[in-house]
Chains A and B, each alone.
Chain A
Amino acid sequence: MEVLVTIVKNLLVIVVIASFLEILLPDSSVRPFVRFAIGLFVILAILNPILAVFFSGRAMQAGAWDLPWEYEESGDYQEVGREVNRDIQKVGSELIREKIEQQISSTAILVPGIGDLQTRVIMTSGEGKLSGIEMVIVPISTVPEADSVTAFSSREQQDQEREIIVKKLTSMMKNLYGLNEDQVVIKFKGE
């Protein structure tokens, strides 16, 4: 009953609107055409709620092809669409970059000799592909404090250890992300 009351109320408003539009009509030979269109609108307004009630929520909708296409404005819409797309890509790419950085840091920390590291991932702006990795490593010092006798040999040992770390990390990054050697830049803190 409540549905019917709502339908009748809405119909009343629509019929009043239609009558109001009809009195606005110009007095010319196009008048019958406009009256016909207004009549169609009223029929639609009557049919729509009835169909919605009796035919399981079916309501008349304007098909996509019915909607007018403003040619002048279409360029603007396309540009806005591209901008939104760019923003989405940017946000997505930023998230991916952060995740990859975390992934690399947590994997690289497992390599012996690395105490801590900072990772920076470089991605191509257009395609959002991984184009390079930069790492700054803080090594765990396995070498004893340098003194006057062992200074030279300990320095050599440290270089060897660092070389091993670089090789291991480069190989790991190459295998994990399919990068070339020159795309992986590894530095040690203080270098």
Chain B
Amino acid sequence: MEIAQIVGLGLVATIFLLIIRQEKPVLAVLLSLTFATVIFLFVIDKLSTIVAVVTELSHRAEANYFFLGTVLKILGVAYLAEFGAAICRDSGEVAVAKKVEFGAKIIIAVLALPIMIAILESLMEIMPR
């Protein structure tokens, strides 16, 4: 039962964090980061399976992989930003967390631009002049 392991790890990390945060907030941030990394490594295999299945399905549906790849990248950026922002927020640095989210929004917008342009170009081409 992997979920039991994850929940157990989470509870242990929470208890440690509650104790450490009062005395040494810097160590608490490090522990939080370590916990997040462990969880990420724990599920990375399953994540790659999800990506593989989605890719396979999109191939079968004859979807352009470039666009699906972009969507997957956007998802990755969102997760990474969420992870960073949450750590910043835990440490009480809400302003920094906002900046991380702002950066992520810009990167997502840039990644989504090619898809938007492809749609707009196609629509403009089929419009009567």
Is B48 among interface residues, defined by CB-CB distance under 8 A? no
In the complex the two chains form, what is the Cα distance from A50 to B73 in whole Å? 26
A interface, by DSSP: helix, strand, loop or mixed? helix
Interface positions of A from 24 to 83, Cβ below 8 Å from B: 24-31, 33-34, 36-38, 40-41, 43-45, 47-49, 51, 55, 58, 60-63, 66-67
A10-B61, A21-B54 as given contacts; A34 in contact with B108, CB under 8 Å: yes
Interface positions of B from 103 to 129, Cβ below 8 Å from A: 104-105, 108-109, 111-112, 114-119, 121-123, 125-126
Inside 8 A of A47's CB, which chain B residues have their CB?
Answer: 119, 122-123
Is B87 among interface residues, defined by CB-CB distance under 8 A? no
Inside 8 A of B126's CB, which chain A residues have their CB?
Answer: 51, 55
CB nearest neighbor in A for B126:
A55
- Does the CB pair B82–A30 fall under 8 Å? yes
Inside 8 A of A123's CB, which chain B residues have their CB?
Answer: none
Is A95 among interface residues, defined by CB-CB distance under 8 A? no
Q: How far is the CB of A42 from chain B (nearest CB, A)?
A: 10
In the complex the two chains form, what is the Cα distance from A32 to B127 in whole Å? 29
A-B contact count (CB 8 A): 120
Q: Which residue of B70, B79, B104, B117 is within 8 Å of A37 (Cβ)?
A: B70
Inside 8 A of A43's CB, which chain B residues have their CB?
Answer: 119
- Does the CB pair B114–A30 fall under 8 Å? no
Interface positions of B from 25 to 55, Cβ below 8 Å from A: 50, 54
Q: How far is the CB of A70 from chain B (nearest CB, A)?
A: 13
- Does the CB pair A14–B122 fall under 8 Å? no
Inside 8 A of A91's CB, which chain B residues have their CB?
Answer: none
Which residues in B have some Cβ–Cβ distance to A below 8 Å? 50, 54, 57-58, 60-64, 66-68, 70-72, 74-75, 77-79, 81-82, 85-86, 101, 104-105, 108-109, 111-112, 114-119, 121-123, 125-126
- Ranked nearest first, the 9 interchain pairs of A and B with the lowest CB-CB distance are A26-B82, A13-B61, A66-B114, A10-B61, A62-B66, A37-B112, A28-B82, A40-B115, A33-B108
Pairs A–B under 8 Å by Cβ, sample size 9: A16-B57, A17-B63, A28-B81, A30-B78, A30-B81, A41-B115, A51-B122, A58-B122, A66-B117
Which residues in A have some Cβ–Cβ distance to B below 8 Å? 9-11, 13-14, 16-18, 20-21, 24-31, 33-34, 36-38, 40-41, 43-45, 47-49, 51, 55, 58, 60-63, 66-67
